[in-house]
Structure 1
Amino acid sequence: MSHPSISIVVLIASLAAGATASAQRATLTISGRVLPGTCTLSAPAITLDPVKASDLVTGDNALLAGALQFTGCIGVTKATLSFDGTPADGDPIRWKNTASSDAATGVSVALRAGASTGDYLKRGDSDVLVITGSTGSYPLRAGYYLAGTGGINAGQVQADVIVTADYE
Protein backbone atom coordinates (compact mmCIF):
# COMPACT_ATOMS: atom_id res chain seq x y z
CA MET A 1 0.00 0.00 0.00
CA SER A 2 1.39 3.24 -1.09
CA HIS A 3 0.86 6.50 0.63
CA PRO A 4 0.93 9.35 -1.85
CA SER A 5 1.07 12.00 0.90
CA ILE A 6 4.30 10.52 2.32
CA SER A 7 6.05 10.57 -1.04
CA ILE A 8 5.07 14.23 -1.60
CA VAL A 9 6.52 15.20 1.79
CA VAL A 10 9.75 13.34 1.02
CA LEU A 11 9.97 15.02 -2.41
CA ILE A 12 9.45 18.52 -0.92
CA ALA A 13 12.01 17.84 1.81
CA SER A 14 14.62 16.67 -0.70
CA LEU A 15 14.03 19.70 -2.93
CA ALA A 16 14.38 22.06 0.02
CA ALA A 17 17.59 20.38 1.16
CA GLY A 18 19.12 20.67 -2.30
CA ALA A 19 18.26 24.34 -2.82
CA THR A 20 20.57 26.95 -1.38
CA ALA A 21 18.91 30.04 -0.07
CA SER A 22 20.34 33.45 -0.72
CA ALA A 23 20.37 35.89 2.25
CA GLN A 24 21.24 39.56 2.59
CA ARG A 25 21.97 41.70 5.60
CA ALA A 26 21.56 45.44 6.07
CA THR A 27 22.24 47.72 8.99
CA LEU A 28 19.47 50.09 9.92
CA THR A 29 21.00 53.20 11.49
CA ILE A 30 18.75 55.24 13.74
CA SER A 31 19.91 58.64 14.91
CA GLY A 32 18.44 61.61 16.71
CA ARG A 33 19.17 64.29 19.25
CA VAL A 34 17.85 64.78 22.76
CA LEU A 35 17.18 68.48 23.27
CA PRO A 36 17.19 70.11 26.65
CA GLY A 37 13.92 69.82 28.43
CA THR A 38 12.36 72.56 30.43
CA CYS A 39 11.82 73.46 34.03
CA THR A 40 8.78 74.65 35.88
CA LEU A 41 9.39 78.33 36.55
CA SER A 42 7.61 79.98 39.45
CA ALA A 43 7.88 83.61 40.38
CA PRO A 44 6.35 84.08 43.84
CA ALA A 45 5.03 87.59 44.37
CA ILE A 46 7.15 89.93 46.45
CA THR A 47 4.92 91.94 48.77
CA LEU A 48 6.84 94.97 49.96
CA ASP A 49 6.40 96.15 53.52
CA PRO A 50 4.36 99.36 53.81
CA VAL A 51 6.51 102.43 54.21
CA LYS A 52 5.61 106.01 55.19
CA ALA A 53 6.16 108.60 52.46
CA SER A 54 8.12 110.68 54.99
CA ASP A 55 10.51 107.76 55.61
CA LEU A 56 11.51 107.39 51.95
CA VAL A 57 14.97 108.57 50.97
CA THR A 58 16.40 109.13 47.52
CA GLY A 59 17.40 105.76 46.03
CA ASP A 60 16.41 102.22 47.04
CA ASN A 61 14.09 101.76 50.01
CA ALA A 62 12.92 98.70 51.95
CA LEU A 63 14.47 96.10 49.64
CA LEU A 64 12.96 92.66 50.19
CA ALA A 65 14.45 89.34 49.08
CA GLY A 66 12.70 87.04 46.65
CA ALA A 67 13.67 84.37 44.14
CA LEU A 68 12.67 82.81 40.87
CA GLN A 69 12.37 79.06 41.45
CA PHE A 70 13.09 76.37 38.85
CA THR A 71 11.90 72.83 39.57
CA GLY A 72 11.43 69.62 37.62
CA CYS A 73 14.34 70.42 35.30
CA ILE A 74 15.16 67.56 32.96
CA GLY A 75 18.21 67.72 30.71
CA VAL A 76 18.73 71.41 31.47
CA THR A 77 22.15 72.82 32.34
CA LYS A 78 21.38 76.52 32.18
CA ALA A 79 18.52 78.97 31.85
CA THR A 80 18.93 82.31 30.12
CA LEU A 81 16.55 84.76 31.75
CA SER A 82 15.26 87.89 30.06
CA PHE A 83 13.27 90.69 31.68
CA ASP A 84 10.49 92.79 30.17
CA GLY A 85 7.85 95.18 31.40
CA THR A 86 7.16 98.90 31.67
CA PRO A 87 10.10 101.09 32.69
CA ALA A 88 9.52 104.02 35.03
CA ASP A 89 8.82 107.36 33.37
CA GLY A 90 12.16 109.01 32.64
CA ASP A 91 14.07 106.17 34.37
CA PRO A 92 14.73 103.11 32.20
CA ILE A 93 16.59 101.36 35.04
CA ARG A 94 13.58 101.03 37.35
CA TRP A 95 10.01 99.73 36.85
CA LYS A 96 6.92 101.90 36.56
CA ASN A 97 4.31 101.86 39.30
CA THR A 98 1.37 100.38 37.38
CA ALA A 99 -1.08 100.07 40.28
CA SER A 100 -4.52 100.46 38.70
CA SER A 101 -6.24 102.24 41.55
CA ASP A 102 -5.07 104.51 44.36
CA ALA A 103 -1.55 104.55 42.85
CA ALA A 104 1.28 106.27 44.69
CA THR A 105 3.12 108.91 42.68
CA GLY A 106 6.78 109.83 42.72
CA VAL A 107 7.75 106.22 43.51
CA SER A 108 8.90 103.43 41.20
CA VAL A 109 10.13 99.89 41.83
CA ALA A 110 13.76 98.80 42.01
CA LEU A 111 14.65 95.21 41.08
CA ARG A 112 18.14 93.94 41.77
CA ALA A 113 19.87 90.66 40.94
CA GLY A 114 21.32 88.67 43.83
CA ALA A 115 20.53 88.16 47.48
CA SER A 116 22.69 91.01 48.82
CA THR A 117 24.48 92.78 45.99
CA GLY A 118 23.84 92.99 42.30
CA ASP A 119 22.99 95.17 39.40
CA TYR A 120 19.57 96.58 38.69
CA LEU A 121 17.48 94.34 36.47
CA LYS A 122 15.78 96.46 33.84
CA ARG A 123 13.78 95.97 30.68
CA GLY A 124 15.86 94.19 28.05
CA ASP A 125 18.35 92.71 30.51
CA SER A 126 19.30 89.05 30.47
CA ASP A 127 21.20 86.84 32.87
CA VAL A 128 22.24 83.20 32.99
CA LEU A 129 21.42 80.76 35.76
CA VAL A 130 23.36 77.49 35.90
CA ILE A 131 21.04 74.57 36.68
CA THR A 132 22.48 71.64 38.62
CA GLY A 133 20.31 68.60 39.05
CA SER A 134 16.60 69.16 38.75
CA THR A 135 16.27 72.53 40.53
CA GLY A 136 17.62 76.05 40.51
CA SER A 137 17.02 79.36 42.23
CA TYR A 138 17.67 82.91 41.02
CA PRO A 139 17.81 85.28 44.02
CA LEU A 140 16.74 88.88 43.63
CA ARG A 141 15.56 91.86 45.68
CA ALA A 142 12.82 94.39 45.08
CA GLY A 143 11.91 97.62 46.79
CA TYR A 144 10.62 101.13 46.46
CA TYR A 145 12.74 103.60 44.51
CA LEU A 146 12.60 107.33 45.03
CA ALA A 147 14.23 109.48 42.35
CA GLY A 148 13.71 112.71 44.29
CA THR A 149 11.73 113.99 47.24
CA GLY A 150 9.26 116.09 45.25
CA GLY A 151 5.87 114.87 44.09
CA ILE A 152 5.41 111.96 46.48
CA ASN A 153 1.81 110.95 47.09
CA ALA A 154 0.74 107.96 49.16
CA GLY A 155 -0.96 105.01 47.52
CA GLN A 156 -0.51 101.53 46.10
CA VAL A 157 2.66 100.39 44.35
CA GLN A 158 2.80 97.54 41.86
CA ALA A 159 5.08 96.56 38.97
CA ASP A 160 4.73 93.52 36.74
CA VAL A 161 8.00 92.18 35.38
CA ILE A 162 7.77 89.48 32.72
CA VAL A 163 10.54 86.90 33.03
CA THR A 164 11.23 84.57 30.12
CA ALA A 165 13.51 81.54 30.53
CA ASP A 166 15.24 79.88 27.56
CA TYR A 167 16.76 76.51 28.42
CA GLU A 168 19.93 74.80 27.26
Structure 2
Amino acid sequence: MNLSPLPRLRTVALVCLAAGNGPVLADEAQLTIKGRVLVGTCVLDIPEVPLADLRAADVATGDLGMQLGTIKVKSCIAVKQVNLKFTGATAEGDKDHWKNTAPAGEAAEGMSIVLKDGEKFENILKSGDARSFAPVADAGSYPFKAGYYHAEGQAFTSGAVAASITVSADYN
Protein backbone atom coordinates (compact mmCIF):
# COMPACT_ATOMS: atom_id res chain seq x y z
CA MET A 1 0.00 0.00 0.00
CA ASN A 2 1.39 3.16 -1.19
CA LEU A 3 0.66 6.32 0.82
CA SER A 4 0.71 9.63 -0.89
CA PRO A 5 3.20 12.18 0.44
CA LEU A 6 0.48 14.59 1.53
CA PRO A 7 -1.03 12.49 4.33
CA ARG A 8 2.49 11.70 5.62
CA LEU A 9 3.27 15.40 5.79
CA ARG A 10 0.08 16.00 7.77
CA THR A 11 1.03 13.23 10.15
CA VAL A 12 4.53 14.70 10.70
CA ALA A 13 3.03 18.16 11.28
CA LEU A 14 0.57 16.79 13.84
CA VAL A 15 3.32 14.87 15.62
CA CYS A 16 5.53 18.01 15.78
CA LEU A 17 2.70 20.09 17.19
CA ALA A 18 1.88 17.43 19.75
CA ALA A 19 5.55 17.21 20.78
CA GLY A 20 5.69 20.91 21.65
CA ASN A 21 7.54 22.18 18.64
CA GLY A 22 4.98 24.93 18.22
CA PRO A 23 5.59 28.64 18.40
CA VAL A 24 8.85 29.83 20.05
CA LEU A 25 8.36 31.10 23.65
CA ALA A 26 9.74 34.53 24.69
CA ASP A 27 10.98 35.89 28.02
CA GLU A 28 9.95 39.24 29.37
CA ALA A 29 11.75 41.54 31.82
CA GLN A 30 11.20 45.04 33.08
CA LEU A 31 13.72 47.81 32.51
CA THR A 32 13.81 50.24 35.45
CA ILE A 33 15.30 53.70 35.05
CA LYS A 34 15.72 55.99 38.05
CA GLY A 35 16.95 59.53 38.51
CA ARG A 36 16.41 62.61 40.63
CA VAL A 37 15.64 66.21 39.89
CA LEU A 38 17.57 68.25 42.42
CA VAL A 39 17.00 71.70 43.72
CA GLY A 40 20.28 73.53 43.26
CA THR A 41 22.75 72.35 45.87
CA CYS A 42 26.46 72.24 46.70
CA VAL A 43 28.73 70.32 49.04
CA LEU A 44 29.65 72.69 51.89
CA ASP A 45 33.19 72.46 53.30
CA ILE A 46 34.16 74.51 56.36
CA PRO A 47 37.56 73.54 57.74
CA GLU A 48 38.49 74.34 61.33
CA VAL A 49 40.45 77.57 61.83
CA PRO A 50 43.25 77.01 64.37
CA LEU A 51 44.43 80.17 66.12
CA ALA A 52 48.08 80.47 67.09
CA ASP A 53 48.76 80.55 70.82
CA LEU A 54 48.76 84.07 72.24
CA ARG A 55 51.07 85.06 75.10
CA ALA A 56 49.28 86.84 77.96
CA ALA A 57 51.88 89.62 77.75
CA ASP A 58 50.76 90.27 74.13
CA VAL A 59 47.07 90.69 74.95
CA ALA A 60 45.94 94.20 74.02
CA THR A 61 42.56 95.73 73.27
CA GLY A 62 40.94 94.64 70.00
CA ASP A 63 41.53 91.92 67.43
CA LEU A 64 44.50 89.65 68.04
CA GLY A 65 46.13 86.74 66.20
CA MET A 66 43.91 86.91 63.11
CA GLN A 67 43.99 83.80 60.90
CA LEU A 68 42.59 83.35 57.40
CA GLY A 69 39.74 80.89 56.91
CA THR A 70 37.65 79.93 53.90
CA ILE A 71 34.15 78.54 53.53
CA LYS A 72 34.18 76.42 50.38
CA VAL A 73 31.48 74.93 48.18
CA LYS A 74 32.03 72.31 45.52
CA SER A 75 30.01 70.00 43.29
CA CYS A 76 27.39 72.72 42.84
CA ILE A 77 24.42 71.72 40.69
CA ALA A 78 22.38 74.55 39.13
CA VAL A 79 23.51 77.11 41.72
CA LYS A 80 23.84 80.80 40.84
CA GLN A 81 24.24 82.14 44.37
CA VAL A 82 25.27 80.72 47.75
CA ASN A 83 23.65 82.40 50.77
CA LEU A 84 25.41 81.91 54.11
CA LYS A 85 23.94 82.68 57.53
CA PHE A 86 26.07 82.79 60.68
CA THR A 87 24.53 81.99 64.08
CA GLY A 88 25.83 81.15 67.53
CA ALA A 89 26.29 82.38 71.08
CA THR A 90 27.58 85.93 71.44
CA ALA A 91 29.98 87.22 74.08
CA GLU A 92 28.29 88.43 77.24
CA GLY A 93 27.26 92.07 76.78
CA ASP A 94 28.84 92.18 73.30
CA LYS A 95 26.72 91.20 70.28
CA ASP A 96 29.59 91.86 67.83
CA HIS A 97 31.80 89.02 69.06
CA TRP A 98 31.41 85.30 69.63
CA LYS A 99 31.27 83.72 73.07
CA ASN A 100 34.27 81.76 74.32
CA THR A 101 32.78 78.25 74.48
CA ALA A 102 35.90 76.48 75.77
CA PRO A 103 35.07 74.04 78.60
CA ALA A 104 34.53 75.53 82.06
CA GLY A 105 37.69 75.41 84.13
CA GLU A 106 39.82 75.60 80.96
CA ALA A 107 38.40 78.77 79.35
CA ALA A 108 40.26 82.08 79.31
CA GLU A 109 38.14 84.74 81.00
CA GLY A 110 37.63 88.11 79.32
CA MET A 111 38.42 86.80 75.82
CA SER A 112 36.10 86.13 72.90
CA ILE A 113 36.34 85.45 69.16
CA VAL A 114 36.04 87.94 66.30
CA LEU A 115 35.13 87.12 62.68
CA LYS A 116 35.76 89.51 59.80
CA ASP A 117 34.46 88.93 56.31
CA GLY A 118 35.29 89.56 52.70
CA GLU A 119 38.50 90.35 50.92
CA LYS A 120 39.44 93.43 52.97
CA PHE A 121 38.31 91.91 56.28
CA GLU A 122 36.92 95.23 57.51
CA ASN A 123 33.40 94.11 58.45
CA ILE A 124 32.65 92.14 61.59
CA LEU A 125 30.52 89.02 61.09
CA LYS A 126 28.02 88.79 63.94
CA SER A 127 25.45 86.19 64.90
CA GLY A 128 22.49 86.54 62.54
CA ASP A 129 24.53 88.08 59.71
CA ALA A 130 24.15 86.78 56.16
CA ARG A 131 26.56 86.92 53.25
CA SER A 132 26.28 85.76 49.62
CA PHE A 133 28.64 84.84 46.83
CA ALA A 134 28.40 83.37 43.36
CA PRO A 135 30.20 80.10 42.63
CA VAL A 136 32.20 79.87 39.43
CA ALA A 137 31.47 76.75 37.38
CA ASP A 138 30.67 74.24 40.13
CA ALA A 139 32.75 75.62 43.03
CA GLY A 140 33.39 78.75 45.05
CA SER A 141 34.69 80.13 48.32
CA TYR A 142 34.08 82.86 50.86
CA PRO A 143 37.11 84.19 52.78
CA PHE A 144 37.04 85.37 56.37
CA LYS A 145 39.43 85.96 59.23
CA ALA A 146 39.04 84.74 62.80
CA GLY A 147 40.96 85.77 65.86
CA TYR A 148 40.94 86.51 69.55
CA TYR A 149 39.13 89.60 70.81
CA HIS A 150 39.80 91.47 74.04
CA ALA A 151 37.50 94.32 75.06
CA GLU A 152 39.03 97.51 76.39
CA GLY A 153 39.43 97.58 80.16
CA GLN A 154 38.25 93.99 80.62
CA ALA A 155 40.28 91.75 82.92
CA PHE A 156 41.40 88.44 81.43
CA THR A 157 42.93 85.15 82.46
CA SER A 158 44.94 82.66 80.49
CA GLY A 159 43.23 79.56 79.15
CA ALA A 160 41.50 78.08 76.13
CA VAL A 161 39.48 80.15 73.66
CA ALA A 162 37.00 78.55 71.26
CA ALA A 163 33.74 79.37 69.51
CA SER A 164 31.07 77.23 67.92
CA ILE A 165 29.51 79.07 65.00
CA THR A 166 26.82 77.52 62.83
CA VAL A 167 27.00 78.38 59.14
CA SER A 168 23.81 77.56 57.24
CA ALA A 169 23.78 77.63 53.45
CA ASP A 170 20.94 77.88 51.00
CA TYR A 171 21.21 78.13 47.26
CA ASN A 172 19.55 80.06 44.44
Name the TM-score, length of structure 1 as normaliser. Answer: 0.77
The secondary structure found in structure 2 opposite 1:72 is strand
Structure 1 partner of 2:80: 77
Counterpart-to-counterpart distance in 2, 1:132 and 1:36: 18
The one-letter code matched in structure 1 to 2:160 is Q
Partner Cα separation in structure 1 for residue 158 and residue 108 of structure 2: 5
Q: Does the Cα contact within 8 Å between 1:103 and 1:155 map onto a contact in 2?
A: yes
In structure 1, the partner of 2:69 is 66
Aligned-partner residue type, residue 92 of structure 1:
K
Instruction: State whether structure 2 residue 158 is matched by structure 1 residue 121.
Output: no
Amino acid across the alignment from 1:120 = I
In structure 2, what is the equivalent of residue 20 of structure 1? none
Aligned partner of 1:147 among 145, 151, 162:
151
**Could you say which residue in structure 1 is the equivalent of 2:163?**
159
Q: Larger radius of gyration, structure 1 or 2?
A: 2
Instruction: Tell me the C-alpha RMSD between the 2 structures.
Output: 1.3
Q: CA deviation at 1:35?
A: 6.1
Aligned 8 A contact 1:111 1:141 in 2: yes
Cα distance in 1 for residues equivalent to 2:154 and 2:90:
20
The worse-fitting range, judged by mean Cα deviation, of 152-161 and 115-124 is: 115-124
Identity of counterpart residues, as a percentage?
Answer: 40
Structure 2 Cα separation of the partners of residues 122 and 87 of structure 1: 8
The Cα of 1:149 is off from its aligned counterpart by 4.3
CA distance in 2, matches of 1:152, 1:94: 16
Query: Structure 1: which 5+ runs fail to align?
Result: 1-33
- The whole-number CA distance in structure 1 between the counterparts of 2:65 and 2:49 is 12
String of CA shifts for 1:98-135, please: whole Å, max 9, x gaps. 00140001100000102442311111100111112100
User: Are residues 132 and 139 of structure 1, via their aligned partners in 2, closer, same or farther at CA, if it must alter by over 3 Å?
Assistant: same
Task: Tell me if 1:56 matches 2:59.
Answer: yes
Q: CA deviation at 1:150?
A: 3.5
- The residue identity in structure 1 corresponding to 2:78 is G
Distance in 2, matches of 1:115 and 1:46, equals: 17
Give 1:91 shift: 0.5
> Matched residues in 1 for 2:159 and 2:60: separation?
17
